[in-house]
Structure formats: structure tokens, C-alpha cells
Amino acid sequence: MKVIATGLADCLLFEPRVFSDDRGEFFEAFNHDRLREHGLQPAFVQGNVSRSRRGVLRGLHYQWPQPQGKLVTVLEGEAFDVAVDLRRDSPDFGRWTAVVLSGRNRRQFWIPEGHAHGFVALSEDVLFGYLCTATYLPTADAGVRWDDATLAIDWPVSAPLLSAKDSTLPFLADIPAVRLPAVA
């Protein structure tokens, strides 16, 4: 498995080894031992799948309390995937990094607890699968506006398709400190 650094020290990108033969291909979506070699020992307790049309933007979401670490992949299609460090005492607070995930590059993006996550679908049909280190807790569901000028995320779209919830998420400056994650 190849490891690629990203613009945030704690967010890593993995490329699995692909085994191809005349039937097709096989690769590991997740292997605890491989991640442990890179100092990670996430205990995944929930797996999610979403399907999005081109131009759909989901995010930026996080949970607090009960923060979720996520290992995210695109099984089919292509997406521009973003992580934002929201840990209020992190030196990278408010900084973001983005990667392109696709069924073709099979890249797996590790986003630790305390980060907001979002993506925009770049292809017509994006099948998104990800593992989480904490279960969904609706009362802890939180988020920040995708187009927050203080984050200045360089999204490759200007008018994405958003849920009503995502279009009314708060700006970072308006989120009280108690609603922001602390460094684990």
C-alpha cells in the first residue's frame, strides 16, 4: 500500500495494491495491520454509502461530541474530496486539504476525528463508501458552510446542488467554541 501526504499532516491518502487477473481485480478496502504500520489504529464501527449526481456537494460535516474519523473512498465515478481541521487547538485550525478520489485511482482518504468532511461529485454518478470510527449521533451532527470565505476552499464548482441543511450551515466564525472539536 502506497501512502501519500496531503496538505494536512494528520490526513493521509492510501493507494491499495491492486491484484488484476483475467477475471477482473481485487484490492483491500481496509486493512488494520497496514494502517497500524502508519501509526493509525482506527476502530471502525459504521460504514456508509452514498450515491450522488454530478454537481452534488455533501458537507462540510462533522460530529461533536462523539467525533468520527473517516476512511473515505469513491467506488464508482470521481469526486473532489475535502477535509478541514476544526480542532480548535490545532496549529492547522481552519486549514483544508483536497484530494481527487475515483473508482479509477482507488485512493482511500483518512480523515481523523475533529475534521469536517465534504465532497463534490465530479462525474455523473458517484458511489461513495466510507468507514467511521464512531456511530451516527443525530444530536451531534454539525457542519460549516462549504463556501465559507475564511476557509476559502477552492471547489471546482461554483453552483453545487446542496441539501437544505447544507445550504444553511453556519460559517466557522459563528460556531461557538464548545461546538468545535478539541485535539484528541
Ligand X SMILES: Cc1cn([C@H]2C[C@H](O)[C@@H](COP(=O)(O)OP(=O)(O)O[C@H]3O[C@H](C)C(=O)[C@H](O)[C@H]3O)O2)c(=O)[nH]c1=O
Locate 119 and state its grid cell: 465532497
Residue 61 CB, nearest approach to ligand X (Å): 3
Q: Is 58 in the site for ligand X (CB under 6 A)?
A: yes
Among 6, 30, 54, 61, binds ligand X (CB under 6 A): 61
Q: Which residue has the cell 487477473?
A: 21
Stretch that binds ligand X, among 3-11, 88-96, 111-119, 170-178 (CB under 6 A): 111-119
Cα distances (angstroms) measured from residue 10 to each of 1, 18, 79, 110, 145: 18, 25, 21, 8, 22
Catalytic positions:
61, 130
Residue 53 CB, nearest approach to ligand X (Å): 13
Stretch that binds ligand X, among 13-21, 58-66, 148-156, 174-182 (CB under 6 A): 58-66
Cα distances (angstroms) measured from residue 56 to each of 119, 120, 121: 8, 6, 5
Among 31, 50, 150, 168, binds ligand X (CB under 6 A): 50
Among 16, 112, 114, 118, binds ligand X (CB under 6 A): 118
Q: Which residue has the cell 477535509?
A: 83
Distance CA 162, CA 145 (A): 11
